[in-house]
């Protein structure tokens, strides 16, 4: 068990709260845009889990890398990717992070060290370990954070990744965001033996558990772990329990869940928890409301810009396939 | 010029590229002191150290993902998957990630990985160690597919594959490891996408690649004895394949036989013939024809495995039948 460091300052928590708010406003807007027909395919909302992305990424620097999964908007925003460019990507427009060719599950921004969301579980993690291998070979002063859900804990390649990261002592922090569900099934109902996170200890990778709805706790725990990874101590594993407020994706009404369970989880809102922590430290309600309004306006502008942005030119469907050969 | 084996030629190419570019590294099972299953990495770990010639666990997914992830940060990995059969354990990483990352991410990155996956029947290795499944990779947008048939081509094409900015599926043939040939050590990389006319002829075009291209050269000798002058084209690159050379040859010979070791049904031969029919229909004097192995898993016992082989005899017989068959 890693010793927790001193509590973050109110200023730090305010900054992380802003990230959380930005993510929540983004996800609300994305869900509405999907219902309105402006966004195609799938949108996997991160709502309810914001403290993890915000608390972990707060301790990263520009040179660090993150990789993500299908529920990846929060990690991108927390690593500094422009929500306006992300929204354009969701709307399938020019100026999107992938020029409208990837959509929600393929948001990446290499200028911010965001290696990509990913549509296949757990490929964001295995690729992150590969990136960490390059970091070590190139002697870069950087670390890699791989975010994934508890559902990934039953995929074989993830265990190849754990072994690899330990074997080569790579600078990677694994962050398991345990929202309890593997799509519509409770992860515990499809897991044999003890909770899947117990398996990680078998690889000799230290496991730290934290309440993922407690921003301050996530920030404290990840600060220590990131420091250890940065010092060359090899991989670390952060297990953060949380809850997914909405369904697996925005179309999914989540009827397989007990409404009481959802309601209880909403009472344990990571944003409200963080605001309460700040209020206890004499941060006025006005400042909190100002952050909410500011984030809300930012996302409103992102939506307006996305709606106004042109669709990609047809020719772009045939570019960036490959240099040699092309579409045929 | 030196005489060397196909395996040695590959080893030389990798050594030269690693000397030229510090970002090139190779990873896979048994590539270190063992030197790879056929010696295609022999001595390289001594030269470049265990940090650049990396022995890995039996983790095909992670071998491929490590190659991809490192390429995102500017490395140029050569991923050794041992056999094409085992590459299927990393099919997700190859097809869903390596082939698509550049496109999905809007051109922000390239994935310059070489995916070495030796193909073909050798030594009676049976159904899970003998496959040639190039059609799978040719059908995947984003991938380049290369299959050299000679030591010189293995040298020149591996160098080119390592320098390419695209993911390249690189298929050596296991039966060719010990084949020898002249190799110019100082040769520049060969151009990917360029076929080789291995034998000029005027009566029929034998179109193939890898080990079966060598069988076509032998078949052309058999056909010459029957008075049939066959042209042999070795595609060398399966995607993108060299339309110019292929169509020019068929416009000259007016007959074509495609031969490959993989199953005839659903194989690349069918795709080639469809393109040929569209481009050269009016010039064909006989039905365009393909031969390949029957659609069965590769059997173990020698007489059974032999039924799956497409050798010079089968190729010559099929070609002679085409030449005797007016349209």
Report CB contact under 8 Å: A126, B142: no
The topology (CATH level 3) of B196-323 is Rossmann fold (3.40.50)
Domain with CATH 3.40.50.920 in chain B: 196-323
A59 falls within a domain: yes
pLDDT the model gives residue A6? 74
What chain B residue is nearest to A110 in terms of C-alpha separation? B108
Assess if residue A317 is contained within a domain. Answer: no
| Residue A326 within a domain | no
Q: Is residue A102, in this structure, part of any structural domain at all? A: yes
Q: What is the pTM of this model?
A: 0.97
Instruction: Provide the residue count of chain A.
Output: 328
Q: Is residue A328 part of a domain?
A: no
Question: Catalytic amino acids of B?
Answer: 129
Q: What is the DSSP annotation of A137-185? A: HTT-S--EEEEEEGGGGG-HHHHHHHHHHHHTT--EEEEEEE-SEETTE
CA dist A306 and A207 (Å) reads 41
The CATH number of residue A23's host domain is 3.40.50.970
Question: A116 is in which domain, residue-wise?
Answer: 10-312
Token pair listed for B185: 């050590």
Distance, CA of B65 to CA of A172 (rounded, Å): 15
Contact A320 B73 (CB under 8 A): no
A298 pLDDT band, cuts 50/70/90, is very high
Number of other residues whose CB lies within 10 A of the CB of residue A204: 12
Within 8 A of A137 by CB-CB distance, chain B residues are 25, 51-52, 70, 75
CATH 3.40.50.970 domain locations along chain B = 2-183
Task: Determine contact: B278 vs chain A, CB below 8 A.
Answer: no
Residues near A159 by beta carbon (within 8 Å), at least 6 away in sequence: A199, A203
C-alpha B242/C-alpha A227 separation (Å) is 53
pLDDT in tens for each of the 327 residues of chain B? 999 999 999 999 999 999 999 999 999 999 999 999 999 999 999 999 999 999 999 999 999 999 999 999 999 999 999 999 999 999 999 999 999 999 999 999 999 999 999 999 999 999 999 999 999 999 999 999 999 999 999 999 999 999 999 999 999 999 999 999 999 999 999 999 999 999 999 999 999 999 999 999 999 999 999 999 999 999 999 999 999 999 999 999 999 999 999 999 999 999 999 999 999 999 999 999 999 999 999 999 999 999 999 999 999 999 999 999 654
User: What percentage of chain B has pLDDT greater than the value 90?
Assistant: 99
- What is the full DSSP assignment across B140-177? STT-EEE---SHHHHHHHHHHHHH-SS-EEE--BGGGT
Is pLDDT at A36 greater than 90 in this prediction? yes
Q: Which residues 164-203 of A have a C-beta within 8 angstroms of B?
A: 164, 167
Name chain B contacts of A325, Cβ cutoff 8 Å: 144, 166, 193, 239-240
Best mutation target among B66, B138, B167, B194 (most A Cβ atoms within 10 Å) is: B66
Chain A contact probe: residue of B28, B51, B65 with most A CBs at under 10 A: B65
- pLDDT at residue A250, as a whole number: 86
Q: Is the four-CA dihedral B132, B138, B141, B144 of positive or negative sign? A: positive
CATH architecture, range B2-183: 3-Layer(aba) Sandwich (3.40)
Chain B interface test: which of A119, A203, A322 (most B C-beta within 10 Å): A322
* pLDDT tier for residue A2 given thresholds of 50, 70 and 90: very low
On whether any CB of chain A is under 8 Å from the CB of B93, the answer is yes
Rounded to 10 degrees, what is the CA torsion of B275, B250, B312, B323?
Answer: 110
Dihedral (CA of A163, A166, A171, A175) sign = positive
Kindly state the tokens that stand for A26: 């983004």
**Interfacial A residues in 54-73 facing B (CB < 8 Å):** 65
Tokens of B327: 């349209």
Count the domains in chain A: 1
Q: Please check the confidence at residue A221 and state whether its pLDDT lies above 50.
A: yes
* pLDDT, tens digit (0-9, with 9 covering 90-100), for B103-160: 999 999 999 999 999 999 999 999 999 999 999 999 999 999 999 999 999 999 999 9
């Amino acid at each position: 068990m890693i010793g927790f460091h001193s509590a973050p300052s109110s200023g730090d928590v305010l900054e992380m709260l802003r990230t959380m708010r930005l993510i929540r406003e983004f996800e609300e807007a994305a869900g509405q845009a999907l219902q309105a027909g402006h966004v195609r395919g799938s949108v996997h909302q991160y709502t309810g889990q914001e403290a993890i992305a915000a608390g972990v990424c707060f301790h990263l620097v520009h040179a660090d890398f993150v990789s993500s999964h299908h529920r990846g908007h929060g990690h991108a925003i927390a690593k500094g990717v422009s929500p306006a460019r992300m929204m354009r990507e969701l709307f399938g427009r020019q100026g999107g992070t992938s020029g409208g060719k990837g959509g929600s599950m393929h948001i990446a921004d290499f200028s911010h060290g965001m290696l990509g969301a990913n549509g296949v579980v757990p490929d964001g993690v295995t690729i992150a370990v590969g990136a960490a291998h390059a970091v070590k070979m190139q002697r870069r002063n950087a670390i890699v954070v791989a975010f994934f859900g508890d559902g990934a804990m039953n995929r074989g390649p993830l265990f190849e990744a754990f072994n690899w990261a330990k074997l080569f002592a790579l600078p990677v922090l694994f962050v398991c965001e345990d929202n309890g569900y593997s799509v519509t099934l409770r992860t515990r109902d499809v897991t044999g033996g003890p909770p899947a996170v117990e398996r990680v200890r078998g690889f000799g990778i230290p496991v730290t558990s934290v309440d993922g709805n407690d921003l301050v706790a996530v920030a404290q725990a990840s600060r220590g772990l990131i420091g250890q990874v940065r010092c060359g101590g090899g991989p670390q594993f952060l297990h953060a329990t949380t809850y997914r407020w909405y369904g697996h994706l925005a179309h999914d009404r989540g009827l397989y869940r007990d409404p009481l369970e959802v309601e209880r989880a909403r009472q344990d809102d990571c944003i409200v928890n963080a605001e309460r922590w700040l209020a206890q430290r004499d941060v006025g309600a006005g400042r909190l409301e100002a952050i909410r309004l500011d984030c809300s306006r930012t996302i409103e502008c992102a939506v307006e810009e996305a709606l106004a942005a042109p669709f990609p030119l047809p020719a772009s469907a045939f570019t960036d396939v490959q240099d040699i050969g092309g579409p045929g | 010029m030196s005489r060397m084996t196909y395996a040695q030629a590959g080893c030389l190419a990798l050594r030269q590229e690693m000397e030229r570019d510090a970002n090139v590294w190779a990873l896979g099972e048994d590539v270190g002191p063992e030197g790879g299953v056929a010696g295609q990495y022999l001595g390289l770990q001594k030269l470049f150290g265990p940090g650049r010639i990396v022995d890995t666990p039996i983790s095909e997914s992670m071998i491929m993902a490590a190659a991809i992830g490192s390429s995102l940060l500017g490395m140029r990995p050569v991923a050794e998957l041992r056999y094409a059969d085992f590459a299927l354990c990393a099919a997700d990483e190859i097809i869903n990630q390596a082939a698509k990352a550049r496109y999905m991410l809007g051109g922000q990155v390239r994935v310059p990985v070489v995916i070495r996956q030796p193909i073909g029947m050798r030594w009676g290795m049976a159904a899970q160690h003998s496959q040639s499944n190039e059609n799978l990779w040719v059908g995947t947008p984003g991938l380049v597919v290369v299959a050299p048939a000679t030591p010189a081509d293995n040298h020149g094409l591996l160098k080119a594959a390592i320098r390419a900015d695209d993911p390249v599926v690189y298929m050596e043939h296991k039966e060719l490891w010990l084949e020898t040939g002249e190799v110019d050590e100082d040769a520049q990389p060969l151009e990917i996408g360029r076929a080789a006319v291995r034998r000029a002829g005027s009566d029929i075009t034998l179109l193939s690649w890898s080990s079966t291209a060598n069988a076509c050269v032998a078949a052309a000798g058999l056909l010459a004895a029957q008075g049939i002058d066959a042209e042999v084209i070795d595609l060398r690159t399966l995607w993108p394949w060299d339309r110019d050379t292929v169509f020019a040859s068929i416009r000259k010979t007016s007959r074509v036989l495609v031969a490959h070791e993989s199953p005839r049904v659903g194989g690349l031969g069918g795709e080639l013939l469809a393109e040929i029919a569209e481009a050269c229909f009016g010039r064909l004097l006989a039905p365009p024809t393909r031969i390949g192995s029957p659609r069965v898993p590769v059997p173990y016992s020698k007489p059974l495995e032999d039924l799956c082989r497409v050798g010079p005899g089968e190729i010559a017989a099929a070609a002679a039948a085409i030449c005797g068959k007016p349209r």
